[in-house]
A and B are shown apart, each in its own frame.
Chain A
């Protein structure tokens, strides 16, 4: 595994995450920077953004430290996205909240049509890393490093970007320390967003 892009969201509050984050086309709300984390602009609406600073390989992963206080389950939660289309509401969504059952959802959006692929139950703590990968047609989910047993083969979406997602309506959803990557052995690309570093410093540190 190689991280291609990381984002700590450690920067001033802003209605926009930045130039390389793109609001998903087709009905999802955007995210904002709030208290050095990414949060849905309005927790009453679904949100999704894909990251576009690299050319994403088809086989990819994304992870983030997730936080939410909701206990709704059944598809409500904060999390990551895989194979997110650049110009359609098409992506895999992996979200979690703190419901007593069915609190982790794997779903797909295909041209806006929403299908649940799996629901799992796991106890977790705010700040845990929610991880998802897709290789070929196999999607694997992990929470705090442990596999959720929700591995599912799905062949609907063959390519796209990694990103972040949210399914409403939750309470106080946010995510932090996002990372997206691939399964090649390439060297690490410099972080996209380090507000305190100049381009010259970044080039000096990674070559």
Chain B
């Protein structure tokens, strides 16, 4: 069994007949086995498709809002150009990406994406349904202090529920720093990252 990994949008209103699901599921891979991490309430996901035919993969990644990860996750990014590409791709979906270096492996990127998805999911489960972090004026550069009191507390509660150190969740900290910290702490704690039956 081979698992192919992608970052792409989530579609669906989250109701019967229109569940939140990976974009292109209905049109490009309607019969393939898959699993996903949603990025909490954000409209993006990390998707794993089992044994995807090469032609289907080509069709899927041809979409501008999809980026795939290589089959060999343990190779390093390698070039400055590729580093910049992946930094931009993550930042474009509101996942901190400026930490990526040329020596970073694709597996480290995938695991980081998975980890921040888990943090976002915990926030999703604890906070008001549909309360996405981003949109409008809120970006990765938005400071913790400029968020509403309810959102600030929900971020702290989500992090605390994992046992994370929240001392960095201060007024001047940006969402980029906070989400990066949560992702790093999830990975450092050794919590699970299973997607479609595969340990990432």
Contact = CB atoms under 8 A, between A and B. Distances in A.
Interface stretch (B15-23, B60-68, B81-89): B15-23
A184 interface: no
Interface in B17-75: 19-21, 30-38, 40, 50
Contact of B125 (A138, A147, A148, A157): A157
B173 interface: no
A114 B15 contact: yes
Nearest to A122: B33
A195 interface: no
Contacts of A114: 14-16, 19-20
- Of A46, A100, A120, most buried by chain B (CB within 10 Å of CB) is A120
Contacts of A155: 118-119, 121-122, 125, 162
Size range of the interface on A? 35 or more
A134 B40 CA distance: 19
Nearest to B38: A115
Interface string A71-84: 00001000000000
B129 A113 contact: yes
Given A113-B20, A137-B192, A150 B35 contact: yes
A43 interface: no
Contacts of B32: 101
A156 B121 contact: yes
A75 B21 CA distance: 11
A102 B15 CA distance: 19
Nearest to A45: B16
Interface string A81-114: 0000000001000000000111000110011111
A111 B14 CA distance: 10
Interface in A139-163: 147-158
Nearest to A135: B192
Contacts of B30: 101-102
Contacts of A111: 128-129
B194 A101 contact: no
B12 to A, nearest CB: 8
Given A115-B10, A150-B35, A150-B197, 12 more contacts: A101-B30, A107-B19, A110-B124, A115-B12, A117-B35, A118-B196, A147-B197, A150-B196, A151-B194, A153-B37, A154-B37, A155-B162
Interface of B: 1, 10, 12, 14-16, 19-21, 30-38, 40, 50, 114, 118-119, 121-122, 124-125, 128-130, 161-162, 191-198
15 contacts: A110-B124, A111-B129, A113-B14, A113-B20, A114-B16, A115-B10, A115-B14, A118-B34, A149-B33, A151-B196, A152-B35, A153-B114, A154-B121, A155-B121, A158-B125
